[in-house]
Structure 1
Amino acid sequence: MKTSLDRRADLIPIETAGTLSGLFRERVARTPDLTAYRQFDETCGQWSSLNWGEMAERVGRWQRALADLDLAPGARVAVQLRNGVEWVCYEQAALALGLVVVPLYPNDTPGNVAYILADSGSQALLIGSLNQWRMLGARRTVFPELRQVICLEDAARADVPFEGPPDVVCVADWLNREGAVHGDHDADPSDPATLVYTSGTTGRPKGVMLSHHNILWNAAAQLEMVPTYHDDILLSFLPLSHAFERTLGYYLPMMAGSCVAYARSLQTLGEDLMTIRPTALISVPRVYEKAYARIQAKLEREGRIARALFRQAIAIGWLRFLAAQGRGAEIGFVDRMLWQLLRPLVADKVLARLGGRLRIAISGAAPLSEPVARCFIGLGLNLLEGYGLTEASPTIAGNRTEDNVPGSAGLPIPGAEVRLAANGELLARSPGVMLGYWKRPEETRQAIDSDGWLHTGDIAEMRQGRIYIRGRIKDILVMSSGEKIPAGDLEQTIAADPLFEQALVVGEGKPFVTALLVLEPGAWESLAKEFSSDPADPSTLQNQRVKRAVISRLGHLLRDFPAHAQVRRVQLLLTPWTLDNGLLTPTMKVKREEVLERFKAQVDALYAGHTIVV
Structure 2
Amino acid sequence: MGRQGPAPLEGEPFVSPPRRFLETAARRGIAPAYYVREAEGWTATPWNVFRDEVRRAARALVALGVKPGDAVGVIGYNRPEWVIMDIAAMMVGANVAGIYFTASAQDAAYIIAHSECAIVLAEKEEHFRRIASQREELSHLRHVVMMRGADATDPLQMTWDAFMAQGDDRFDAEVERRLQAIQPKDVGCLIYTSGTTGPPKAVQISHDALAKTAALVLKLFEVTGNDRTISYLPLAHIAERILTIHFQITVGNAVYFARDVLSLGEHLPEVRPDFFFGVPRVYEKLASAVQAKLAAAKGPKAKIVQWALGVGQEWHRKEQAGERIGLKTALAMAVASRLFHRKAKRLIGLDRAKHLGVGAAPIPEETLRFMTGLDLPVRELWGLSESAGVGTTNLRGATKIGSVGKPYPGLDLKIDRDGEILIRGPYMFMGYAKDPEATARTFTDGWLRTGDLGHVDLDGYVHITGRKKDIIITSGGKNVAPANLEMELVALPLVEHAIVCGERRPYLGALITLDKAAAERFASERGMADGPALTEAIREKIQEGIHAINARHSRVENIRRFAILPEPLSIENGDLTPTLKVKRQAVMTRLTPVVDSLYRENEKV
Same fold (TM over 0.5): yes
Report the alpha carbon displacement of residue 322 of structure 1 after superposing the two structures with TM.
3.2
- Correspondence for 2:37 among 12, 20, 40: 40
Aligned residue in 2 for 1:384: 379
Aligned residue in 2 for 1:216: 211
Does residue 1:607 correspond to 2:602, yes or no? no
Query: What TM-score does the superposition give when structure 1 sets the normalisation length?
Result: 0.90
- Correspondence for 1:264 among 253, 259, 262: 259
Unaligned runs of 5+ in 1: 1-11
Contact kept, 8 Å, 2:62 with 2:175, in 1: the verdict is: no
Summarize deviations over 1:373-402 as a string: whole Å, max 9, x none.
111123222422211010000111112213
Query: What TM-score does the superposition give when structure 2 sets the normalisation length?
Result: 0.91
Does residue 1:116 correspond to 2:111, yes or no? yes
State the alpha-carbon separation in 1 of the partners of residues 61 and 11 from structure 2. Answer: 27
Q: Which moved more, 1:440-449 or 1:306-315?
A: 306-315
Does residue 1:458 correspond to 2:452, yes or no? yes
State the alpha-carbon separation in 1 of the partners of residues 420 and 222 from structure 2. Answer: 30
Report the alpha carbon displacement of residue 589 of structure 1 after superposing the two structures with TM.
0.1
Aligned residue in 2 for 1:569: 561
Contact kept, 8 Å, 2:412 with 2:425, in 1: the verdict is: yes
Does residue 1:321 correspond to 2:316, yes or no? yes
Aligned residue in 2 for 1:473: 468
Summarize deviations over 1:525-580 as a string: whole Å, max 9, x none.
45567898753x5x679x66653442123223454223332322221124221222
State the alpha-carbon separation in 2 of the partners of residues 84 and 232 from structure 1. Answer: 19
When residues 368 and 484 of structure 1 are mapped into structure 2, their CA distance, relative to the original with a 3 A threshold, is same
State the alpha-carbon separation in 2 of the partners of residues 210 and 287 from structure 1. Answer: 27
Summarize deviations over 1:228-259 as a string: whole Å, max 9, x none.
11211111211111101111332123212222
Q: Secondary structure at the match of 2:19?
A: helix
State the alpha-carbon separation in 1 of the partners of residues 476 and 286 from structure 2. Answer: 38
Q: Which moved more, 1:290-299 or 1:111-120?
A: 290-299
Structure 2 counterpart of 1:108, which letter? A
When residues 360 and 483 of structure 1 are mapped into structure 2, their CA distance, relative to the original with a 3 A threshold, is same
Q: Secondary structure at the match of 1:609?
A: coil
When residues 350 and 15 of structure 1 are mapped into structure 2, their CA distance, relative to the original with a 3 A threshold, is same
Does residue 1:175 correspond to 2:167, yes or no? no
Aligned residue in 2 for 1:76: 71
State the alpha-carbon separation in 2 of the partners of residues 501 and 23 from structure 1. Answer: 42
State the alpha-carbon separation in 2 of the partners of residues 540 and 213 from structure 1. Answer: 60
Report the alpha carbon displacement of residue 371 of structure 1 after superposing the two structures with TM.
1.0
Aligned residue in 2 for 1:3: none
Q: Which moved more, 1:50-59 or 1:204-213?
A: 50-59
Does residue 1:588 correspond to 2:577, yes or no? no
When residues 523 and 410 of structure 1 are mapped into structure 2, their CA distance, relative to the original with a 3 A threshold, is closer
Contact kept, 8 Å, 1:80 with 1:125, in 2: the verdict is: yes
Aligned residue in 2 for 1:556: 548
Contact kept, 8 Å, 1:233 with 1:261, in 2: the verdict is: yes
Structure 2 counterpart of 1:168, which letter? Q
State the alpha-carbon separation in 2 of the partners of residues 228 and 531 from structure 1. Answer: 47
RMSD: 2.6
Q: Secondary structure at the match of 1:145?
A: coil
State how 1:298-317 maps to structure 2 within 5 Å.
Answer: 298-302=293-297, 309-317=304-312
Contact kept, 8 Å, 1:348 with 1:356, in 2: the verdict is: yes
State how 1:392-403 maps to structure 2 within 5 Å.
Answer: 392-403=387-398
Q: Secondary structure at the match of 2:262?
A: coil
Does residue 1:432 correspond to 2:427, yes or no? yes
When residues 339 and 72 of structure 1 are mapped into structure 2, their CA distance, relative to the original with a 3 A threshold, is closer
Summarize deviations over 1:205-240 as a string: whole Å, max 9, x none.
100011111111111221232111121111121111
Unaligned runs of 5+ in 2: 1-8
Structure 1 counterpart of 2:31, which letter? L
Report the alpha carbon displacement of residue 308 of structure 1 after superposing the two structures with TM.
5.5
State how 1:516-535 maps to structure 2 within 5 Å.
Answer: 516-527=511-522, 534-535=529-530
- Correspondence for 1:499 among 490, 494, 499: 494
Report the alpha carbon displacement of residue 522 of structure 1 after superposing the two structures with TM.
3.2
- Number of aligned positions between the proteins: 589
State the alpha-carbon separation in 2 of the partners of residues 283 and 248 from structure 1. Answer: 11
Structure 2 counterpart of 1:210, which letter? I
Contact kept, 8 Å, 1:236 with 1:281, in 2: the verdict is: no
State the alpha-carbon separation in 2 of the partners of residues 307 and 14 from structure 1. Answer: 55
Quote the sequence identity (%): 31
When residues 32 and 154 of structure 1 are mapped into structure 2, their CA distance, relative to the original with a 3 A threshold, is closer
State the alpha-carbon separation in 2 of the partners of residues 28 and 526 from structure 1. Answer: 49
Does residue 1:86 correspond to 2:74, yes or no? no
Contact kept, 8 Å, 2:321 with 2:400, in 1: the verdict is: no
Aligned residue in 1 for 2:61: 66
Aligned residue in 2 for 1:421: 416
Q: Secondary structure at the match of 1:376?
A: helix
State the alpha-carbon separation in 2 of the partners of residues 268 and 213 from structure 1. Answer: 35
State the alpha-carbon separation in 1 of the partners of residues 191 and 547 from structure 2. Answer: 41
State the alpha-carbon separation in 2 of the partners of residues 586 and 446 from structure 1. Answer: 26
Structure 2 counterpart of 1:109, which letter? S
State the alpha-carbon separation in 1 of the partners of residues 546 and 456 from structure 2. Answer: 29
Contact kept, 8 Å, 2:316 with 2:377, in 1: the verdict is: no
